[in-house]
A = this chain, B = another copy of it.
Amino acid sequence: MRYHPHTEGDVREMLDAAGAKSLDDLFRSIPAPLRLNRPLEVPPPADEVTLLAELRRLAARNDAQHPPFVGAGAYPHHVPPAVDQLLLRGEFFTAYTPYQPEISQGTLQALFEWQTFVCLLTGLQVANASMYDGASATAEAALLATRVTGRSKVVVSAAVHPEYRKVLATYLRSSGDVIVTVPFGADGRTDLAALSAAVDEETAAVIVGYPNFLGVVDALPQAAAAAHAKGALCVSVTTEAVALGLLQGPGALGADVAVGTFQSFGNPVSFGGPAPGFFALREEHLRQMPGRVCGATVDKQGRRGFVLTLSTREQHIRRERATSNICTNAGLCALASTIHLALLGKQGLAELARVNYARGRVLTEAMARQGFRRAFSGPVFNEMAFEVGDAEAVVERLAGRGLAAGAPLGRFYPDDPKMKGALLCVATELHTPELIDLFAKAVRS
């Protein structure tokens, strides 16, 4: 077996040294009745040629010929080949959490750069070394708010990604914290009146999407004002981080915590995972931040270097009093984002965001030509919902043509009949005007 370097001779000598008669004998500490005395019922071993052929066949049964017209939390973007070729360098790829800083400076400096990118894009002062995903990051943000404020009510906009809200509910279930959901208006923005009404002295956090799940650039400043008016924290959630190349950083608009995913930078959609969740906040709440964080310091010779720091917040030191239970995070995904952001740079990011905005316009116009109007009147970035009649039917029909059509909003808002006809679509730098036109026509018939 190519991954098992032991020859029979090795095994014998090692068993002798270990004072064991056989390999099974090494497991004598497992009571006989607890041992498995039959082969596992999994497929027989496959050689590499067979393995690759078999999985290529499986992959071929997933239709990825065209970039999907659906984002809804996972965005199809171009990943420059340079990103992956650097990511695959074994020194990065096969490392783990940098517990030994002297031989982990590569990972550590890259994480420090990641944290800086997160801060620059969100307009906040500190960020951690990544979270599992945007949804759990959102839940952790709510928990942080309850710790910081000592309050137990979380007000969340219905326009925040429904899956994120589900995860939030799952995470908060046992804590007894209450979640109050406020609706959005016809413009797809959070209903500010309802929001202000919902926020009170018991409110720990107000959570809004930016842009929100409907693709609409929500009224973050007003939401933040409403939160701060009652001493609550404002948490902004961003699923399409490319938008931050065009939009003000949430921190600059009043958000105290910014969370979401940087999947759009350097990470393929990969059927939904993995992708790097990000977590940024105001310095004052630093000690309540979940997860790993990398900091600069000096070595014995006074040379600048980096280490994991503030670990007294973490589970391996604090155990049940830790700020979170997270240990393994999304390091490689964060590295991919860091490399992509380095390539983009100031100009590239601004331009990429504007290209995406423009493609969104092209989509809007193409759909309009086919008689489909936007479902919401609010301003959008590269994603928007259209009234298409039976959205589920459209998705099914276009699948037959190799097009992933969009997210039927009825699926995410089952109780809202108005949503049945709404199809959430995205257009990015991968969608050429020609393809967009072809898509719009396909939706029509």
Contact = CB atoms under 8 A, between A and B. Distances in A.
A78 B52 CA distance: 10
A193 to B, nearest CB: 43
A343 B49 CA distance: 14
A49 B89 contact: no
B48 A80 contact: yes
A49 B85 contact: no
A429 B49 contact: yes
Interface residues on A, range: 10 to 19
Question: Oligomeric state, in number of copies?
Answer: 2
Interface in A54-113: 78, 80, 85, 88-89
Interface in A250-280: none
A6 to B, nearest CB: 14
A345 to B, nearest CB: 10
A120 interface: no
Nearest to A77: B49
Contacts of A429: 49
Interface string A341-382: 001000000000000000000000000000000000000000
Nearest to A85: B88
Contacts of A2: 343
Nearest to A53: B432
Contacts of A89: 89
- Nearest first, the 3 closest Cβ-Cβ pairs linking A and B are A49-B78, A49-B429, A85-B88
A326 interface: no
Nearest to A428: B49
11 contacts: A2-B343, A48-B78, A48-B80, A49-B78, A49-B429, A49-B430, A52-B78, A53-B432, A85-B88, A88-B88, A89-B89
